Amino acid sequence: MEEKIVTRFAPSPTGYLHIGGLRTALYSYLYARKNNGNFLLRIEDTDLKRNSKEATEAIIEAFKWCGLDYDGEITYQSERFEIYKKYIQKLLDEDKAYYCYMSKEELEELRNKQEAAKERPKYDGRYRDFKGTPPQGIEPVVRIKAPQNGEICFLDGIKGEVKFKVEDILDDFIIARSDGTPTYNFTVVIDDALMGVSDVIRGDDHLSNTPKQIILYEALGFKIPKFYHVAMIHGEDGKKLSKRHGATDVMEYKAMGILPQALLNFLVRLGWSHGDDEIFSLEDLKKLFDPNHINKSASCYNFKKLEWLNAHYIKTLPFEEINHQLKELGFDLSIYKKAEFLLDLLRERAKTLLEIIGGAKSIIEEPKSYDEQAVNKFVNEKNLFLLKKYAEELSNHRTSSDFESFTNEFLQKNDVKLKDLAQPIRIALTGNAVSPSIFEVLEFLGVDECKKRIENFLKFRRK
């Protein structure tokens, strides 16, 4: 019987969800879903001083916004301390771990000595086989009895065979602090093993943790999962992605008017490909994704590519989905007449939902002011006279359709071209010189509203 694929995403709630973290979560999610496995969410909140309830809520909110579901309840490490204590005691009882009574002074002396000798700082194992009376006034830490020579090897799904020389990287590392709280590497191993995690997909900044975790898996008799260490996302300058390259908080993208479909499509392509394909729905990805095809090298963040994808989804998603996301930003297009018609006017040019909102408001809301630069550039006495005549003749055009024919007849009758009239009409209707097709704006607003707005603009010019 084939082993069930179980993956997980395990963020620490000390801040917002980074887009690099979301990419890792997405890869883990897709691999589980493709194989009818389980995708688990675990909050690693053992650092009680740095944890934030708001950060936990932000992670859950980001998952919800992106449409990434997880199986079962969220696991919180802060609720599992008794489990960790049990396994620490197990290692102590089996002489695979020990109490270390090294004082701060001893540690400092050792570090100074190693530094002077230009040696790698590491614990020297002085309490590894200690059988004497524990020193007074020292709360001991618990250290694992790590191997002291040889190699630790594993087959990484992305990097291939990875080898670590024990003497170069390891000492008897701490698994429980002096206050009894377990360390990161220990809790990760316990939780991944007990939760049945078969495949761990994570950033390659965790690569140095892997040999320590393998030692713990072996000491506890747990099955070692398959590891996939994903290369980092870099900015266009080749440096690690940071705020100077653009937003790194997932929810900032929502506030910027980026659709979750576009963000997920963008992130999955930062390190993974399927031929020359660029556009992938979440359903496509659930069928196609394979972590063995993740690139070994770092990927480059390109905001213009994200904008291009966002524009694609704005053009192609149904009205209901776009409006749902607009409502998330506090703007409900569906309350207006001809809402779908208006969205279709705006979506061809828009790169973000904020542009949709701005464009919609500029058409729906009667102008309270007019762009001075546009007025100075496009409005003169001749076309003001034309605009006045146009408004008067609108009264005879009682239907809200075929404004193009009506306008062309007007232009022909007055022996002028559309360029003489289009921008003044646009400014009168929207307050500026940028809008979708003027005929469609006229159609959306209807005869009475258009006439009223033109007359208001004419009054404004007469002041």
Cα–Cα distance for residue pair 19/202, rounded to 1 Å: 13
3-state SS, the chain, equals CCCCCEEEECCCCCCCCEHHHHHHHHHHHHHHHHCCCEEEEEECCCCCCCCCHHHHHHHHHHHHHHCCCCCCCCEEHHHCHHHHHHHHHHHHHCCCEEEECCCHHHHHHHHHHHHHCCCCCCCCCCCCCCCCCCCCCCCCEEEECCCCCCEEEEEECCCEEEEEEHHHHCCCCEEECCCCCECHHHHHHHHHHHCCCCEEEEEHHHHHHHHHHHHHHHHHCCCCCEEEEECCEECCCCCECCHHHCCCEHHHHHHCCCCHHHHHHHHHCCCECCCCCCCCCHHHHHHHCCHHHECCCCEECCHHHHHHHHHHHHHHCCHHHHHHHHHHCCCCHHHCCCHHHHHHHHHCCCCCHHHHHHHHHHHHCCCCCCCHHHHHHHCCHHHHHHHHHHHHHHCCCCCCCCHHHHHHHHHHHCCCCHHHCHHHHHHHHHCCCCCCCHHHHHHHHCHHHHHHHHHHHHHHHHC
Residue 96 is a catalytic residue: no
Cα–Cα distance for residue pair 252/258, rounded to 1 Å: 9
The 3-state DSSP composition of the chain as helix, strand, coil percent (nearest 5) reads 50, 10, 35
Other C-beta atoms lying within 10 Å of the C-beta of residue 438: 19
3-state SS, 37-85, equals CEEEEEECCCCCCCCCHHHHHHHHHHHHHHCCCCCCCCEEHHHCHHHHH
243 annotated as belonging to a binding site for a ligand: yes
Place of tokens 């630069």: 373
Of 49, 104, 118, 243, which is the active-site residue?
243
Q: Look at residues 257, 260, 253 and name the one whose alpha carbon lies nearest to residue 65.
A: 260
* Residues annotated in a binding site: 243
Residues marked as catalytic: 243
* Residues annotated in a binding site for ATP: 243
